[in-house]
Structure formats: structure tokens, C-alpha cells
A = this chain, B = another copy of it.
Amino acid sequence: MMNSFGHIFRVTTWGESHGPALGATVDGVPPGVALEASMLQHWLDRRKPGQNKFTTQRREADEVRILSGVYEGQTTGTPVQLMIENTDQRSKDYSEIAEKFRPGHADITYWQKYGIRDPRGGGRSSARETAARVAAGGLAREALAALAPGLDIKGYMTRMGVHEIDREKFDWDQIEQNPFWTPDATAAEDWAVYLDDLRKQGSSVGAVVEVVVRGAPAGLGAPIYAKLDTDLAAAMMSINAVKGVEIGEGMRAAELTGEENADEISMGNDGKPVFSSNHAGGILGGISTGQDIVVRFSVKPTSSILTPRKTITKSGEPAEIVTKGRHDPCVGIRAVPVGEAMAACVILDHLLLHRAQVGNGPRGTIG
């Protein structure tokens, strides 16, 4: 169970950064969903590195193949195997990384835990694993399109280092128009200058990514320990470099009073409840309210930097380390499609889990 997530729609990822291939084995796929590799490729292309100067220059085709579970363009209900072959396994010398532990990196813990690790490109701990998540997320999106038409999932960056977006300038249409997937056009311009500077210095910086699910039905979430927010938190925290997860107000909820935090309820014209605000991030008691579901996570700066850092070798000797070569000055950028993919998987999983226990749609009516 260590490399799987989801209750019904269950995704198991496998593969290392520089092995022959990596992928996702997806079980619990509803039958009859239209699926072709090109539909998944669309999302992988968004995540693909090397598309601009702000992401690692590793060039991977990231071409996904569907090896099972689809017949004549439709899912059959059997497991779907999504495989991405690694093509850019540059014949680099990994001997230094194999001997020294990078500060802030999983090098040391994989070694301590297992007593063996694949040092090439970070092995299993590489962000490359997230390509498999994006492929699985693409599949989840297609199933959601069939089962919950109108549901939409969108991620974007709200912070890069000390620079946060201005919520007043939030523009959904802006998101696809800048390399940072940020809804604030001014921030995008400022960040470009800021990040280019960091990149030239060989430094790196953290980010905050927000993912919003619009049009999700009320009633998703299986309290107490498969709450929708619980599963979203786990999904996001499992992404490389994530150190914090928030739902709605998140950490700032601590600063509010009960009066401030209460999202007042009235009845909408469409016979559904309307909320005066969304401090809750669309989830109450672990169950979706029908409002926008809002999840946010922080991504730490990558530990691969040009400034020398103190460390030790496997034999315990003191050493210094500098990570040369390709790296992402802000890995948060590439985390945007990954966060979307995780949200898609969790929402679909909960749709299926809900219909297992309760049936189609919410069971309680109001009015």
C-alpha cells in the first residue's frame, strides 16, 4: 500500500528517474469512459520540463502509452497501465551524489531507511515520479467529465518566495498565459524578473499553489478518516517538496473568531444553498458543501543549488556539495499540474466512494 493512493479509484505509481520507464497502474476505473493516449498527453505536456527558462532543461518526450484497460477507445473496467519511457537518461557521472548527501534532499533518508538507493537523478524520490500522477489525473478528469459534467479543476500559483499575488487582480483567463500559471498578470511580470535573477545565481525559491474544484456536488467525503479534506491533504502532502496544506482559510483560520469564520447560508434561486463566503473552502465536517473546494499547498525551494552547502559522505566524512547541471529554480511551477491531477484523483475517488455507500448524488434534499 506504500505506493498507492485512493480507495476505489486506486493509483499505484512506480518507476525511478533514470530507470527504463515509470508509470501508473490505475485500478477501479469506471467502464465506458472514452480514453485515448492523446487526452492524457495534453496534461503531461503542461507539466513537461524544459518548456521555458524557468524549468529544468532536462528534455523528456514524456510520451504516455496506455498498455491495458482500454478497448476500442473506451475503458473496460479493468486496470489501466500508463507507461512513460525515460528517454533522456543522460550518461552523467552520479558518483559524487552517490557518495554525498545533499542537504534538504531525500538522499540521506532513503539511504538510512533502505541501505540502498538509486542515486541517478534522485531515483524514486525525483519529481519525475509526478509525471505518472499527471497521467493518472488525466484519466480521472475523463471519468469526471462523464460522471460529473460541469466539474472543473484548476490550479495556479499564488506565491513565489516572498511575493504573493494580489487577489484583487485575480483573473481566471490569465492563468494559461504566463509561465507561472498565476492569475495575476502583474505578479507574472514581476516574478519573471525575480526568478530569472535567482536562476542566474543558481539559487532556488519556494512557492504556494492553490487548486480550486468548481462544480463538485455536495456530499463528497467519508467521515471520519476518509474526509474529503483529509484525503486532499494527504494527496498534496505526498507531492515532492510540499511542506504545508490548507483548506479554505487554512492556517489563517486560527486567527478568526466564530463570527468571522461562519459562512452564512441562504437559499439560492436554483434550490441549492448559497453561502455568504467560503472560509470553509467548500468542506464542512469532511464533506463537500457544493461550494468551490479550495486547497492550497506550499512547495519548498529545491535543494539542488549552486551555493556550496556543508554535508557528510556515506562514510561519515565532512564534505561540501554543489549541485551542478539542470535544475528548477522554482519547482512550485511544475507542481501546479501535479496538484490539479491529485485533486482530480481524489474527487473522482470520492464520487465513487459516495455512490458505493449512498448511491448517486446527495441523499438529503433541502426545501
Contacts and interface: CB of A to CB of B under 8 A. Distances in A.
Contacts of A28: 1-2, 356-357
A336 interface: no
8 contacts: A12-B27, A13-B225, A32-B363, A71-B116, A113-B221, A225-B238, A243-B250, A261-B300
A265 B103 contact: yes
Interface string A1-13: 1111101101011
A303 B81 CA distance: 29
A193 interface: no
B357 A352 contact: yes
A205 interface: yes
Contact of A205 (B257, B284, B354): B257
Contact of A289 (B109, B160, B205, B360): B109
B254 A208 contact: yes
Interface string A234-261: 1011101001111111111111111111
B30 A367 contact: no
A318 B12 contact: no
A288 to B, nearest CB: 7
A304 to B, nearest CB: 7
Given A104-B279, A124-B224, 10 more contacts: A2-B224, A16-B68, A32-B116, A104-B262, A203-B257, A224-B238, A253-B300, A261-B300, A264-B311, A267-B318
Contact of A285 (B69, B105, B288): B105
Interface string A195-232: 00010000111111000000000111111111101110
A317 to B, nearest CB: 8
Interface string A285-301: 11111100000001111
Copy number in the complex reads 4
A161 B254 contact: yes
A366 to B, nearest CB: 5
Contacts of A230: 234, 237-238
Contacts of A114: 31-32, 76-77, 358, 363-364
Given A16-B78, A124-B224, A218 B258 contact: no
Interface residues of A, number: 163
A233 interface: yes
A366 B312 contact: yes
Contacts of A27: 1-4, 12
A74 B273 contact: no
Given A4-B27, A12-B27, A106-B284, A246 B244 contact: yes
A315 interface: yes
A185 interface: no
Contacts of A258: 104, 203-205, 301-305, 307
A88 B251 CA distance: 33
Nearest to A306: B258
Interface stretch (A17-25, A40-48, A52-60, A176-184): A17-25
